[in-house]
A and B are shown apart, each in its own frame.
Chain A
């Protein structure tokens, strides 16, 4: 896969003034400098203290604005991810928009039976295969947690399954620096060495601090490991507005930014210039059901602000798309997927994960991934806009046809359809009249998406991996299992 011209919307959504963005940023700096944070990683703390942060008796670490400014001056404003074969596939930064799945879902709507059942390792393979076959899915996260495996080494097993079933770049979760180390070693092995992996990163690690203001040992350890290996990392908190962060949109983003920026500071101190991704997950707690809503309208409001802040700081951003709070593959799913995905496209949000998420990050559906792919395809057309230099005002054609004529066979129509922009063709959406639709079995969107997913699963899998690579990965797996028993 090549990095075809990256998609960048010409129509863009911005709603914050520079002054508002400055105030939000200043408030985040104030939280870092005055409130501080708890960092449970001795080496990380030492690194921070050596460069001007202070640690008080209660264990709170305070970060001066100058440290953040310095980190912002060394961090790259864009970086690339490469596919399994080593070709550049994604350029993250600017307003380039990419889509991919999320990780670790415990349940699946089984694509064959429609049953809601626990996820297994096979689901990870299926998600990867389906994503591999969808042109508008650019990167892959596991989509499922293998509840059929024991807890030791699950994330390495997950990674190997993904690598076998898709050639697209991967975004990965790991438990700690030990299993992440084994994953990175395997990726380096695939590339033919750690240096080659650094030049052409195949994966991005998704690491989270704990809101409010807590940076566990494992989170910092994973962050530092990525800095050392030159593996891109997203250090993204998931404050839930009203529960683990202030309920106001402003407060949510300020705290989340303070959490993410502390990660940036440690990361850049360890390896100035290493690739880092900024982000804050947008969730809010539903104050009646107690559910962590991904798609509440307040969550969307938080999201707008977060992505605009990333643009303002010129940092590649972590975003979200293709997900719903719905428990069914229904109209609510369609509506929420559409709104969130369109927002991401309009914002020029870079790495949009969680495609295929349902029911508050607990259930996955291949249908939802397929539906999102179609939605992205159609809106890439919309957001490419009408090309200003080539407006194609067709005055000649209008003159040629005149009153009472028609354009059906006109050369202008032919040129437009055959050589020009054509007409966007749906893969799933209905354009049939009632009778034809009934004759064809009255198939609705969910069923069409299901059939498309099943059809992709029938195609040939990606070329098999070198057996030596897999053997060495198995050896790492055995070590990991021994060490964590």
Chain B
């Protein structure tokens, strides 16, 4: 790996506003291939950030700051990228289900997914099945993430899945579920496509499904 790529990776990990754009501009001037800057620089930086969090070497908000810095770099890079090079891993609609206001876990999942390159549409908490389904249709999302933190609100996930089926959309979107009372067993029972215990694992599952 070139030093220039190392600089970009280091700047992404650091997450300060500024240095990533400088490093990306320097790489472009040095004649580096824009696609390589994306894959071996910016994206590699975010992958490293994910691994560091998993190892407990950095804090959760460091991921947010890294993702913001990476977006700045991307803005500089975008005009140089060949048309058709995908800059997004896909669109995810996410929210906490109806009757439930717990949103910290959902926010973390959203944060990690956008860090991993997904376009995240966050519908907030207490989201009705109709609102989930409308948003999936409207955004052409390939993934739907639902969070439930109360045993009493878990059935709202089933209601959303039923509505997707009723509208003939079930085959078009992968459904990911999570939250403290939700287990893999429950996800299987209600016919969801994926489940994860926490935000870092949610990214792994989302990438598998996307």
Chain A residues in the interface with B (C-beta under 8 A): 106, 145, 147, 151, 154, 175, 210, 214, 216, 240, 242-244, 285, 287-290, 292, 362
Contacts and interface: CB of A to CB of B under 8 A. Distances in A.
B101 to A, nearest CB: 5
A147 to B, nearest CB: 6
Given A106-B180, A288-B59, A290-B198, A151 B152 contact: yes
B18 interface: no
B59 A154 contact: no
Given A151-B154, A288-B60, A290-B108, 15 more contacts: A106-B180, A106-B181, A151-B151, A151-B155, A154-B152, A210-B101, A240-B104, A285-B60, A285-B104, A287-B60, A287-B61, A288-B53, A289-B56, A290-B105, A290-B199
B104 A106 contact: no
Interface of B: 53, 56, 58-61, 101, 104-105, 107-108, 151-155, 180-181, 198-199
9 contacts: A147-B151, A151-B155, A216-B101, A242-B61, A287-B60, A288-B58, A290-B198, A290-B199, A362-B180
Q: Select the residue from A151, A216, A289 with max chain B CB neighbours within 10 A.
A: A151
Nearest to A219: B101
Nearest to B152: A151
Q: 10 smallest A-B Cβ distances: which pairs? A: A287-B59, A151-B152, A288-B56, A210-B101, A243-B104, A287-B60, A106-B181, A290-B108, A145-B151, A147-B151
Given A106-B151, A151-B152, A290 B60 contact: yes
Contacts of B104: 240, 243-244, 285, 292
Q: Select the residue from A210, A285, A289, A290 with max chain B CB neighbours within 10 A.
A: A290
A36 B123 CA distance: 23
Nearest to B125: A210
Nearest to A106: B181
A147 B181 CA distance: 9
A289 B53 CA distance: 9
A362 B60 CA distance: 22
A290 B104 CA distance: 9
Contacts of B107: 243
A289 B101 CA distance: 21
B55 to A, nearest CB: 9
Q: Select the residue from B108, B152, B180 with max chain A CB neighbours within 10 A.
A: B152
A403 B153 CA distance: 74
A209 to B, nearest CB: 10
Contacts of B152: 151, 154, 175
Contacts of A242: 61
Q: Select the residue from B58, B154, B181 with max chain A CB neighbours within 10 A.
A: B181
A51 to B, nearest CB: 27
A369 to B, nearest CB: 22
Contacts of B61: 242, 287
Contacts of B153: 151
Nearest to B57: A288
A290 B181 CA distance: 16
A288 B58 CA distance: 7
A362 to B, nearest CB: 6
B51 to A, nearest CB: 13
B110 to A, nearest CB: 13
A132 B58 CA distance: 46
B61 to A, nearest CB: 7
Nearest to B155: A151
A175 B47 CA distance: 41
A37 B97 CA distance: 23
A243 B58 CA distance: 16
A484 B59 CA distance: 42
Nearest to A247: B61
Contacts of B59: 287-288
B204 to A, nearest CB: 15
